[in-house]
Amino acid sequence: MSQSGEAVSLGHALDDAKMSKRHRRFWLLAALGILLDGFDFFIIGIVNPLLKEQYNLSASTLGLVSAAAIVGAIFGAGLLGPLADKIGRRRIFIFDLWLFVIFSVACAFAPSIGLLIFFRFMVGVAIGLDYPIAASYLAEILPKKARGRWLVGAFSLQAVGILLAAVVGLIILLAVASHAGANATDAQINLAWRLMLGFGAIPALIIIFVRRKTPESPRWLAQNGREEEAVAVTEELTQAKVKVTDKDREKATDSGEGIKALFQPALFKRNMIRRTIFTAVPWFLMDIATYGVGIFTPTLLAAIAIKGANTNFLTDDITATAGTAILDVFLPLGFLAAILLVDRVGRVPLQLVGFAMMTIALLILAFAEGLSGGPEAHLPLVLVGFALFNFFMNAGPNSTTYALPAEVFPSEIRAAGHGFAAACAKLGAAVGVFFFPILLDSIGASALLYAIAGTTILAMVITRVFRIETTGKSFDEISGRKLQELSPRPSPP
């Protein structure tokens, strides 16, 4: 668009703009917080064996340590995330990162397991806060033709964080092993896990520095009486003459209602219930599998691939972490596939295929566990199962469940809708993380993997029944009040 000619509405200018350098810069500023989620998601899986060795933790206590940040994210996303609908996206962008820095450092100096659990909870609050804010902000500034792939691209930074954690964890473990040999001392183990948990403050401080000039969402500004600012931000993004129209100012529901607006019984808000089920339930079920399998991939590899080897726990942790890092290469490959396909084939088809292939991958792993000689005798099959799971998880639902809540809810409750869906997801993650080590000890890897496969099948069914396709649609179309306007339609070529 050019600055010459008649002014266009703010919403139209944002939806129909071409992706520019300004879009990419604002995208990066908002998206970098997702990297911290990936780092924290993976690093605790490396830390767990160290904590268990040093403190002789029970499976339930280890589950609490692992789940603490995830439970915190439920509060951050579900209860505090909707604040962004009231006071704006930008104000919380910096606050949540400082919260992450403070409590990451606190984790590194935690004097007891009880306080470590509390500090991990607060780290999770910070991560949970960033989910709805970043997603809402990005959805509101991105052009409709590029919205899907750039939302997925933002979430793909989670894989960068995971790989960063793998590198940091391996470097620290190898440093300990080089000094300790076969038997690490308690002091060395203690230093290792504290360095791992505290390292997250470093990328967070860098992100705080680059985020300091992030502008407010123009759609939010237009709906909250700050029209001159809304026009200025939009014209900077689109290079078009812009005016704020009544449609740009209009609110479909009261943002003050927050999460309550997602469940109101009025006719229009029954649409909200459909949108809420469609976005929250599959994400909840997916995260049971994603976090249960993902965080404990090193534990699973040790349990089903290297069990019985005559090694010490440190060697096992290094071997399993290295194996997990190799398998995690399939995470960014999955995200790349989603980025290429999400605006071509649509969100819903990717989500359905992803859930189906995750189910097949889990069944392969469970089957390998039951074969003669155990999974250690069938390591290629185990690696195929993990590779398929990682690839199709990110090529499908791990990408689409993040993008869809940012698209299907109206602007005035977008953070509340995305926050509620993210909170449900983290609840599923907490269920998976807390019960995974307990069930692994009690029923074994095979039965547990079959059970997790059941959750991905159910998620596929819920997606199919409540599906809402957003590909190629403007926010005016997606926020339409009639259910038929939300029905799937063929994706653009």
Give domain limits for the chain.
8-242+256-486
Helix (H, G, I), strand (E, B) or coil at 243: strand
Which sign does the torsion angle of CA 35, 38, 44, 47 carry? Answer: negative
Please answer whether residues 266 and 272 qualify as being in contact, where contact means their C-beta atoms are separated by less than 8 angstroms: no
- pLDDT value at position 491? 40
Mean pLDDT over each residue of the chain, to the nearest integer: 81
Tell me phi and psi for residue 8, to 5 degrees: -110, 165
Helix (H), strand (E) at residue 8: strand 8-9
Instruction: Give the per-residue pLDDT at 350.
Output: 95
Please, are residues 33 and 97 in contact by the beta-carbon 8 Å criterion?
Answer: yes
By three-state DSSP, how is residue 307 classified?
coil
Tokens representing residue 292 in the block: 């249960």
Give the pLDDT confidence score for residue 482 in this predicted structure.
44
Q: Would you say residue 261 has pLDDT above 90?
A: no
Q: What is the pLDDT of residue 454?
A: 94
Cα–Cα distance for residue pair 405/422, rounded to 1 Å: 9
Chain centroid to CA 330:
16
**How sure is the predictor about 357, in pLDDT bands with cuts at 50, 70 and 90?**
very high
Which token pair is 433? Answer: 């993380």
> Looking at 56-65, 281-290, 292-301, which range is the least confident one?
292-301
- The structure's pTM equals 0.79
Give the model confidence (pLDDT) of 439-473 as tens digits.
877 887 788 889 999 999 999 999 999 999 888 77
Q: How confident is the model at residue 490 (pLDDT cuts 50, 70, 90)?
A: very low
pLDDT in tens, 210-257: 888 788 888 888 888 888 888 998 888 888 888 888 877 776 555 555
User: What pLDDT, in 10s, does the model give residues 365-376?
Assistant: 888 877 776 656
Distance from CA of residue 192 to its chain's centroid? 26
**Per DSSP, which regions of 356-435 are E strands?**
none
* Interior angle at CA 245, CA 240 and CA 249, nearest 5: 115
Does position 384 have pLDDT exceeding 70, yes or no?
yes
Q: What is the pLDDT of residues 109-148, one digit of tens each?
A: 999 999 999 999 999 999 988 888 888 888 888 898 888 8
Residue 242 sits at φ, ψ, to 5 deg, of -130, 145
- The CATH homologous superfamily to which domain 8-242+256-486 belongs is MFS general substrate transporter like domains (1.20.1250.20)
Query: What mean pLDDT do residues 305-334 have?
Result: 63
Per residue, what are the HEC states of 178-203? HHHCCCCCHHHHHHHHHHHHHHCHHH
pLDDT over 90, % of the chain: 24
pLDDT per position as a tens digit, 163-212: 888 889 888 888 887 776 557 777 888 999 999 999 999 999 998 888 88
